[in-house]
Amino acid sequence: MPTTSMSPRPVKIVSDDTAPPRRKMIGRAGPWQLVRLIAETNLARLYTARPAEADEALPASYMVKMLRKEWWRDEVAVELFRREVWVGSRVSHPHVVPVLSANVRQPPFYAAMPMLEGETLRQRLDRQWQPSLSEALWLVRQMAEGLSAIDRATGMVHGDVKPDNVMVAPTGHVTLIDLGFARRPGDDHGRLADSLMGSLAYIAPEVVTSAFATGISSDQYSLGIVMYELLSGRTPFTSNDPGELIALHRGQKPPCIRSLRPDLPKPVASLVHTLLAKDPIRRSLTYRELIERLVRLEIEMFVPARST
């Protein structure tokens, strides 16, 4: 049986050259035809799909995520999958991926979602893509709106905000994905507390100090790291040593973003560093306050440049 380490691994994209023909059904999950394997993670396989009763000539415009068989008996993996389904089925918002149907009671475990156009923010950043200032603010604001919707609908935090979990459509529309690490503030999830929630490059200091200290400000810290990266081209803290990276988040002041991007307006830099405050109380914005600040900054960035 696999170990219970939930550390993220790269998504394996399956080449179209080896994929089965589009019309050929390769399997079934409940009421869904599985048409083509499109990606794999360490926990799941992702397929294009269509309703089982649909004509095979119709495009496969849905995605089915199936927990890999080797994880069916692992309590942590199954709980993560159930968490994603529970949150995705209760949040109805344009910036959060919905779960349309699922089976989480017994194997095989699956969840059906709409097929999202575009690519992850991580894929964009890995190509050295850098958005304009107004575009970066727009992307962050959409992420904040999605996080706010999760909080309102479920009382949970996303728990793993990072570029890998942000889908960006060709139009720039943002959708938050991978909701398995969602948690209620102060909830250690039993055995899930044994697995470090989130990815270390984006994790809030209080999350690695105490599972019971997490809250919306923890997601906002991660959002601040993403914002820093969008605006400067790098994260504030980098290390190949997990222990050192945790120590940097807990005790090292992030480099001033204007030292990396001197043209950045002071109000934008101020918001970035507010989100990156070590003490959660110092970044305790409500989502309404955060979104309003982002909207104001978006509008200001469209007016002629002025002295900062």
- Catalytic residue positions? 160
Amino acid, res. 164: D
Asked if the bond preceding 108 is cis, omega within 30° of 0, the reply is yes
Asked if residues 201 and 235 have their Cβ atoms less than 8 Å apart, the reply is yes
Taking the C-alpha atoms of residue 136 and residue 179, their distance in angstroms, rounded to an integer, is 23
69 C-beta neighbours (distance < 10 Å), count: 11
Cβ pair 131, 230 in contact under 8 A: yes
Look-up of token digits 């991580």: 122
Helical axes 133-154 vs 216-232, angle rounded to 10°: 160
Q: Which of 94, 89, 138 is nearest to 116 (CA)?
A: 94
Contact call for residues 37 and 45 (beta carbons, < 8 A):
yes
